[in-house]
């Protein structure tokens, strides 16, 4: 069983459910903008938010930000250990440091003592781009063994100062290197692991790389919290992370299935499928509105909705779906658990589908 840590009351590791993290892209010193973005992330399903701390003004803003949010806040520190000390004093729920650039033993000791005093965990965040030159020379470049050794060096250092409330990450932009590095950490340490493929790219390619890297590890029972890194609004990171967890059966929520298009397709399937997905995501967000009142939060747990192009791939192939639609000649059918329950012209098909969904099992 892996060690367990608590980040502002959110448990990571030790068999706890996998949590979702993201990072703001606002200027942290702008309290209202940062808090607003964190609240948006929370509304989308984020469990823990991280903020960059490039200066003392950002560290000092943490206390005010925390008054306006309801999820734990992590301070992301590079280079200046004093920023970690200031962030802990200001009320951060966890400190993230990079062993490649935080400084000497005296600085790490100061951070460890402050975090122990405040009861805060530390994430040792190893990145492939910031390994010590000595490790690169020893291992012949950036390798999984070099990443592992960087993490364990810092573990030993924190342990020397009687600190063991630790979470680990070993991120690279290379999916194979990322996966191999995390496998070593999983096999050789007992600390909870924060998974992610760093600098993964734009939303399109970043989701592909993150899904492969994070998904491969989670399928093998490796990983306790995840962050999908995208060159995109951070809310999209949360949506992608939740989709990864749902696809692996690690989070319950709606599942949208839709068929590939072919010559039999009787409806304009692609935009319809996207619109169904958009509405479902809105309906699942706390406090969201889509015309009428949103359904209660959690209503879609375990619910499968199918969007099928024709009767061949309609109620038959999608019989396991709770609700669905299939295209026809100028109209579509609406089905529930494999049985047709209604028909509607194309311009009213989605409205009727969501009427059936909202009525549920009636």
Q: Please give the DSSP secondary-structure letter assigned to residue 71.
A: S
pLDDT classification of 198: cutoffs 50, 70, 90: very high
Comparing CA positions, the residue from 278, 221, 215 lying closest to residue 245 is 215
Taking only the tens place, the pLDDT of each residue in 325-343 is 887 777 788 888 888 888 8
- Stretch 278-295: mean pLDDT, rounded? 58
Query: Cα(281)–Cα(283) distance, rounded to whole angstroms?
Result: 5
Domain ranges of the chain: 4-247, 255-359
Range 350-359 contact pairs with CB under 8 angstroms and sequence separation of 24 or more: 350/272, 350/275, 350/276, 350/279, 350/325, 353/276, 353/305, 353/323, 353/324, 353/325, 354/279, 356/323, 357/303, 357/305, 357/323, 358/292, 358/295
- Stretch 59-72: mean pLDDT, rounded? 97
- Stretch 166-194: mean pLDDT, rounded? 97
**How is domain 4-247 classified at the CATH fold level?**
TIM Barrel (3.20.20)
Start-to-end CA span in the chain (Å): 44
CB distance 181 to 188 below 8 Å: no
Query: Cα(145)–Cα(157) distance, rounded to whole angstroms?
Result: 18
β-strands 19-23, 255-258 pairing: unpaired
The strand pairing partners of 54, in sequence order, are none
CB distance 294 to 360 below 8 Å: no
Rounded to the nearest 10 degrees, what angle do helices 269-284 and 349-359 cross at? 30
Report residue 120: phi and psi, to 5°. Answer: -105, 140
Burial tier of 196 (Cβ tally within 10 Å: 0-12, 13-18, 19+): buried
**Torsion (CA) 5, 8, 10, 14 in degrees, nearest 10:** 10
pLDDT of residue 294: 41
Taking only the tens place, the pLDDT of each residue in 313-322 is 666 667 788 8
pLDDT of residue 203: 94
CB distance 168 to 194 below 8 Å: yes
pLDDT classification of 347: cutoffs 50, 70, 90: confident
pLDDT classification of 312: cutoffs 50, 70, 90: low
What percent of the chain is modeled with pLDDT above 70?
91
Query: Cα(362)–Cα(111) distance, rounded to whole angstroms?
Result: 58
**How is domain 255-359 classified at the CATH fold level?**
Sulfite Reductase Hemoprotein; domain 1 (3.30.413)
Alpha-carbon separation of residue 290 from 276, 306, 307, 348 (angstroms): 12, 20, 19, 16
Q: Under DSSP, is residue 66 helix (H, G, I), strand (E, B) or coil?
A: helix
Q: Where are the alpha helices (DSSP H) in 174-202?
A: 175-188
Q: Under DSSP, is residue 126 helix (H, G, I), strand (E, B) or coil?
A: strand
Q: Under DSSP, is residue 192 helix (H, G, I), strand (E, B) or coil?
A: coil
Report residue 95: phi and psi, to 5°. Answer: -115, 130
Query: Cα(39)–Cα(195) distance, rounded to whole angstroms?
Result: 23
pLDDT of residue 272: 85
pLDDT of residue 105: 84
Query: Cα(303)–Cα(264) distance, rounded to whole angstroms?
Result: 27
Task: Evaluate if residue 38 carries a pLDDT over 90.
Answer: yes
Task: Evaluate if residue 293 carries a pLDDT over 90.
Answer: no
pLDDT of residue 271: 87
């Amino acid at each position: 069983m892996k060690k367990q840590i608590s980040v502002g009351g959110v448990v990571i590791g030790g068999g706890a459910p996998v949590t979702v993290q993201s990072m703001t892209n606002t200027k942290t010193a702008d309290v209202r903008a940062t808090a607003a973005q964190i609240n948006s992330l929370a509304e989308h399903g984020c469990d823990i938010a991280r903020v960059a701390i490039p200066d003392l003004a950002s560290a000092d803003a943490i206390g005010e930000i925390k008054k306006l949010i309801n999820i734990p806040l992590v301070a992301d520190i590079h280079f200046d250990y004093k920023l970690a000390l200031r962030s802990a004093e200001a009320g951060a729920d966890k400190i993230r440091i990079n062993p490649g650039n935080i400084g000497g033993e005296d600085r790490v000791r100061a951070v460890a003592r402050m975090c122990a005093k405040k009861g805060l965990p530390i994430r040792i965040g190893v990145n492939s781009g910031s390994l010590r030159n000595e490790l690169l020379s020893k291992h012949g470049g950036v390798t999984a063994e070099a990443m592992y050794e960087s993490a364990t060096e810092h573990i030993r250092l924190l342990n020397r100062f009687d600190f063991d409330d630790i979470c680990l990450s070993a991120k690279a932009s290379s999916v194979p290197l990322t996966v191999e590095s995390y496998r070593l950490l999983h096999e050789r340490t007992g600390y909870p692991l924060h998974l992610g493929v760093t600098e993964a790219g734009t939303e399109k390619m970043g989701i592909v790389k993150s899904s492969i890297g994070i998904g491969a590890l989670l399928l093998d029972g490796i990983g306790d919290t995840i962050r999908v890194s995208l060159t995109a609004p951070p809310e999209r990171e949360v949506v992608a992370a939740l989709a990864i967890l749902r696809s692996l059966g690690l989070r319950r929520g709606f599942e949208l299935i839709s068929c590939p298009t072919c010559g039999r397709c009787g409806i304009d399937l692609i935009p319809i499928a996207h619109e169904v997905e958009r509405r479902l995501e809105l309906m699942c967000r706390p406090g969201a509105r889509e015309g009428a009142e949103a359904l209660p939060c959690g209503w879609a747990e375990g619910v499968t909705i199918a969007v099928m192009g024709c009767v061949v791939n309609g109620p038959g192939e999608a019989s396991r779906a709770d609700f669905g639609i299939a295209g026809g000649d100028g109209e579509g059918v609406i089905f529930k658990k494999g049985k047709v329950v209604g028909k509607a012209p194309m311009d009213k098909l989605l409205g009727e589908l969501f009427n059936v969904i909202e009525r549920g099992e009636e």
